[in-house]
Structure 1
Amino acid sequence: MGPVRTLRRSSPITMVVGVVLIITIFVFILSPSSSDSAASQLRKANAASNPLSPPTSPFRKQSEKANGKRIPPPVVHYHMNNVTSSPDPVGNRETILILTPLARFYQEYWDNLMKLSYPHELITLGFMIPKNREGNAATAALQEQITKTQKSGPMKDRFASIIIERQDFDPPLASQNEAERHKMENQKARRAAMSRARNSLLFTTLGPSTSWVLWLDSDIIETPPTLIQDLASHDKAIIVPNCFQRYTDSKNKPAERPYDFNSWQDSETARDLGDKMGPDDILLEGYAQMATYRTLMAYMAANGGDPRQEIALDGVGGTALLVKAEVHRDGAMFPPFPFYHLIETEGFAKMAKRLGWSSTGLPNYKVYHYNE
C-alpha cells in the first residue's frame, strides 16, 4: 500500500472567493426586489425632515439631536407656479390628497380605495372621525387596515402618507343611520357639522405640493379603478360624477337608483324661494316639501350614455368630488352657514363660482354608494 497523501491546504485566495460568494448569495436572497427597493428609496427621498414640514409629506422620526435638543426645521422654499393640475396627472407625477369624513368604517370603501390604479406613492389619505362610540369603532377598524397596508403590504399598495384626525366637537346626530341622516329637519345642523369637519380636514392637510383634492365619502364602495385619472382628464376646476346606489328590486333582480341629489342646475323657482327666505334659511334638494324644480344630474344619466359627457352645474354633491388644489387655495371652502341660502358642498360650488371657478358634472360616469 503506497504512502498516504496529505490534504492540500486551501490557498487564501480560494477562501476569500468562497466567503464573497456566500455573502453574495445571502444578499440576493434577503434583499427586496428592485421595484420595492426603488419605491422605498423614493419614499425616503420624499420624507419630511422635520415634524413641522408640510402635513402631506410622510415624516420619519430622526434620532439625531443637537446637544439633547431637536434639530430646528429647515427653511424650505416652494415654487407654487411649478405645481400643476393637468389632464395627465400620472405623467406629471401630480400628488393627490384624498379626504374622507369618516363616521362609520365600511370594508368595501377601503377595498375600493386599494383598487385605485393611481400610483399610491403619489396619494396622501386624510380622515376626520368624530369622537363618539361609532367614531372609536371606525378608528380602530381603519387603523387595522392601515397597519396591514402600510407595514406588511406590497410597496406598490402603500400610500405616501396617512393622516387621521378626530373632531373637536360633538356630532349633532346621535345616530348615523341613513334614514336619520336624511330627515329634512336634521339637514341644517348635520350639514353644518359636515362643513366644519371638511374644512378642518382640508386646512390641516393641504400641502404646498398638492395638485388635486379628491373628496370621497366613506360610504362610496364602488368606483372605476381609474377614477382619479378619468376625472382629471377633463381638466376642470371642480368635477363630480353621478352617484348611484345598487339594490334588489321587488322582482328580486339587481337594479340601481340615483342617490346624490346635490348636483344640479339652478332654476327660477329656486331663486324665487331664496329671495323670500330669511338670512339664516337654506334651500334643500330632494324634498317634496321644498320643490325647487332644479335640473338634477341624478336624473340625467342615460343607458349607454357617453361617460365623458359634461354638463355645467350650479351645485355639487360631495360623495366623490375632484377639485384642483388651487381652488381651495383661493379660499373656496364648505360654508357651515347659509351662503346665498346654500350650505356645505352646494355652498362650496356657489363660493367657488364667486371666486371665478365653475363646476362640471358627468351624468353618465357613475360611482356607487353603500346600501343600508
Structure 2
Amino acid sequence: MARPMGPVRLKKTSPLTLVLGGALCIFILYFLIGSSAPDFSASRKASAASHPLSPPTSPFRKSTSTSGKVKPPPVTRYNLNNVTITHNPLDNRENILILTPMARFYQAYWDNLLKLTYSHELITLGFILPKNKEGNTATTELQKQIAKTQQYGPEKDRFKSIIILRQDFDPPLPSQDEGERHKMQNQKIRRAAMAKARNSLLFTTLGPSTSWVLWLDADIIETPPTLIQDLAFHDKPLIAPNCFQRYYNTERKVMDERAYDFNNWQDSPTAQELASKMGYDDILLEGYADMATYRALMAYMYEEGADIHHEVPLDGVGGTALLVKADVHRDGAMFPPFAFYHLIETEGFAKMAKRLGWQAAGLPNYKVYHYNE
C-alpha cells in the first residue's frame, strides 16, 4: 500500500538567477522580433566605392535606423547645367579625367603625371590593362606607384580618385613591341582592340561632374607641367599637341628628336579618292608607304621657335595626347572599333565628333614626347 506524499517544498530562487534569466529572455525576444538585416553601413563604407564619379564596387546593403525602419539607398543628384567647361579650368575648379590604356608601365610616365601643375585634387585617373602576362606585370607596378603616391606621398601629389580596369577580351597581338605594333597587317585588328579598350574605359569612368577628358598614352613620358591648362586655354572641343620622340642620332652622334604620331592630319583629295574605291570594311592608314594618302600631317608642321599656341584644324587625331571636352563624349562621340567612313579608333573618333558638329584642332609647335624603345 502506497504511503501518501507529504507537502513539496520548492527551493528558493536567488535574485541573481532571476536577473540573468530575465536578461536572457530579453535578448532572445530582441533577436527573434528585431530586424534580421544587420547594419552593414560601416562595412559598406569600407568596401563600396564612395566616389560619385564611379559605380559602386559592392551592392548597397540595407541598414536599419533606431526606429526600426529600413533606410533607403542613397540618391545623388547632379545638374549638368552647373558643370562648366571653360578656357580657364583651374580657376573654375573643373574636374579633369585622365584616361590611359596601359599595356606596359613606364616609371617616367608616372613621374610626369606627378609633375602636372593642375590641382591633383581635381584629377581622376582611369586605367585599363590587358589580361595577359604583360598586363599583370604592368598592373602590379602601377598599383605600387599608386600606393606610394596616394597613401604615403605629399598631399599635393594625391589624386582625387583612381580607377583601374582589366580588359574582358584577349589582346589581339602576342607582343607589344613597337615593331610588332606598327606592322601594317596588324593595324586593323590592333586598333579595333584599342578602340574597344578606350570605349570601355570611357563609358565606365566618365562622370556627371567631369568637364574635360585628357587621353594620355602610357608611353608619353614627357610633357610641359602645364599641359592641361595650356590645351584647355584654346577652348576647342578636341585639341592635340604634337607628339615627338627623343633618340640618339648615330650619324650625328648626338641626342636628337623625330616626329612620332602621324594620326593628326588634314585630309587630302588623294585620301578621299582612295576611300571611295575601298570596300565597306576597309580602312585608310596613315604613315605607310604602301598607302600614300598625301594628307597634311601635323607631325611635319612643326616650326622651331614658332608660337606654341599656333592652331591648325584637323580631320584626324591621334590618341597619344588629346584633350576633349566632356560634352563631346556625352554627345555620343566614341572610338569606332569598325570602319567608320574608312577610319578607325582615334581617327574615326575625330570623324564621328565632326559629324556631331565638333571640330578638332591641333598645336603643331606644342610638343610632348613618346618613350623610345
Q: TM-score w.r.t. structure 1 length?
A: 0.84
What displacement does 1:60 show? 12
* 1:66 and 2:64 aligned: yes
Taking only the aligned residue pairs, the percentage that are identical comes to 72
Q: How does 1:181-192 map to 2 (within 5 A)?
A: 181-192=181-192
**What is residue 343 of structure 2 aligned with on the other side?**
342
User: Could you tell me which amino acid in structure 2 is paired with residue 143 of structure 1?
Assistant: Q
User: Could you tell me which amino acid in structure 1 is paired with residue 92 of structure 2?
Assistant: N
1:55 to 36, 53, 56: 53
CA contact (8 A) 2:48 2:56 kept: no
Return closer, same or farther for 1:144/1:340 CA change in 2, 3 Å cut-off.
same
**What is residue 303 of structure 2 aligned with on the other side?**
302
User: Could you tell me which amino acid in structure 1 is paired with residue 214 of structure 2?
Assistant: L
**What is residue 225 of structure 1 aligned with on the other side?**
225
What displacement does 1:76 show? 2.0
In structure 1, the residue corresponding to 2:78 is in which secondary structure?
Answer: coil
Instruction: Quote the Cα distance in structure 2 between the aligned partners of 1:61 and 1:278.
Output: 47
Return closer, same or farther for 1:145/1:49 CA change in 2, 3 Å cut-off.
closer
Aligned length: 326
Instruction: Quote the Cα distance in structure 1 between the aligned partners of 2:60 and 2:76.
Output: 18
- Of the structure 1 ranges 220-229 and 251-260, higher mean CA displacement relative to structure 2 is found in 251-260
After the TM superposition, list the runs of 4 or more consecutive aligned residues in structure 1 that deviate by more than 3 angstroms.
47-65, 67-73
In structure 2, the residue corresponding to 1:298 is in which secondary structure?
Answer: helix
What displacement does 1:54 show? 3.3
User: Could you tell me which amino acid in structure 2 is paired with residue 188 of structure 1?
Assistant: K
User: Could you tell me which amino acid in structure 1 is paired with residue 316 of structure 2?
Assistant: G
Return closer, same or farther for 1:118/1:249 CA change in 2, 3 Å cut-off.
same
User: Could you tell me which amino acid in structure 2 is paired with residue 283 of structure 1?
Assistant: L
In structure 1, the residue corresponding to 2:241 is in which secondary structure?
Answer: strand
In structure 2, the residue corresponding to 1:156 is in which secondary structure?
Answer: helix
CA contact (8 A) 2:105 2:218 kept: yes
**What is residue 147 of structure 1 aligned with on the other side?**
147
Instruction: Quote the Cα distance in structure 2 between the aligned partners of 1:58 and 1:310.
Output: 41
In structure 1, the residue corresponding to 2:151 is in which secondary structure?
Answer: helix
What displacement does 1:122 show? 0.2
Return closer, same or farther for 1:279/1:302 CA change in 2, 3 Å cut-off.
same
CA contact (8 A) 2:223 2:369 kept: yes
**What is residue 238 of structure 1 aligned with on the other side?**
238
What displacement does 1:53 show? 6.1
User: Could you tell me which amino acid in structure 2 is paired with residue 252 of structure 1?
Assistant: K
- Of the structure 1 ranges 54-63 and 234-243, higher mean CA displacement relative to structure 2 is found in 54-63
Instruction: Quote the Cα distance in structure 1 between the aligned partners of 2:47 and 2:82.
Output: 21
User: Could you tell me which amino acid in structure 1 is paired with residue 52 of structure 2?
Assistant: P
**What is residue 101 of structure 1 aligned with on the other side?**
101
CA contact (8 A) 1:55 1:204 kept: no
| Deviations 1:49-94 (CA, angstroms, capped at 9, x unpaired) | 9648633499999999437999643222211011111011011000
Structure 2 unaligned regions, length at least 5: 1-44
CA contact (8 A) 2:98 2:126 kept: yes
**What is residue 164 of structure 1 aligned with on the other side?**
164
Instruction: Quote the Cα distance in structure 1 between the aligned partners of 2:310 and 2:70.
Output: 54
User: Could you tell me which amino acid in structure 2 is paired with residue 209 of structure 1?
Assistant: S
Instruction: Quote the Cα distance in structure 1 between the aligned partners of 2:186 and 2:70.
Output: 48
CA contact (8 A) 1:90 1:229 kept: yes
* 1:351 and 2:352 aligned: yes
Instruction: Quote the Cα distance in structure 2 between the aligned partners of 1:116 and 1:56.
Output: 23
Return closer, same or farther for 1:77/1:55 CA change in 2, 3 Å cut-off.
closer
In structure 1, the residue corresponding to 2:338 is in which secondary structure?
Answer: coil
Instruction: Quote the Cα distance in structure 2 between the aligned partners of 1:93 and 1:327.
Output: 20
**What is residue 215 of structure 1 aligned with on the other side?**
215
User: Could you tell me which amino acid in structure 1 is paired with residue 213 of structure 2?
Assistant: V
User: Could you tell me which amino acid in structure 2 is paired with residue 136 of structure 1?
Assistant: N
In structure 1, the residue corresponding to 2:229 is in which secondary structure?
Answer: helix
| Deviations 1:88-145 (CA, angstroms, capped at 9, x unpaired) | 1011000000000000000000000000000000000000000000000000000000
**What is residue 268 of structure 2 aligned with on the other side?**
267
CA contact (8 A) 1:305 1:364 kept: yes
In structure 1, the residue corresponding to 2:202 is in which secondary structure?
Answer: helix
**What is residue 247 of structure 1 aligned with on the other side?**
247
In structure 1, the residue corresponding to 2:256 is in which secondary structure?
Answer: strand
| Deviations 1:195-253 (CA, angstroms, capped at 9, x unpaired) | 00000000000000000000000000000000000000000000000000000102220
Instruction: Quote the Cα distance in structure 1 between the aligned partners of 2:315 and 2:286.
Output: 13
Root-mean-square deviation over aligned CA pairs: 2.4
User: Could you tell me which amino acid in structure 2 is paired with residue 367 of structure 1?
Assistant: V
- Of the structure 1 ranges 66-75 and 170-179, higher mean CA displacement relative to structure 2 is found in 66-75
In structure 2, the residue corresponding to 1:66 is in which secondary structure?
Answer: coil
Instruction: Quote the Cα distance in structure 1 between the aligned partners of 2:203 and 2:55.
Output: 15
User: Could you tell me which amino acid in structure 2 is paired with residue 293 of structure 1?
Assistant: Y
User: Could you tell me which amino acid in structure 1 is paired with residue 278 of structure 2?
Assistant: M
Return closer, same or farther for 1:201/1:134 CA change in 2, 3 Å cut-off.
same
Instruction: Quote the Cα distance in structure 2 between the aligned partners of 1:316 and 1:85.
Output: 21
Return closer, same or farther for 1:289/1:162 CA change in 2, 3 Å cut-off.
same
CA contact (8 A) 1:48 1:58 kept: no
Instruction: Quote the Cα distance in structure 2 between the aligned partners of 1:259 and 1:233.
Output: 24
CA contact (8 A) 2:194 2:345 kept: yes
| Deviations 1:319-364 (CA, angstroms, capped at 9, x unpaired) | 0000000000000000000000000000000000000000000000
Larger Rg, first or second structure (1 or 2): 2
Return closer, same or farther for 1:59/1:255 CA change in 2, 3 Å cut-off.
same
Instruction: Quote the Cα distance in structure 1 between the aligned partners of 2:259 and 2:109.
Output: 19
**What is residue 15 of structure 1 aligned with on the other side?**
none
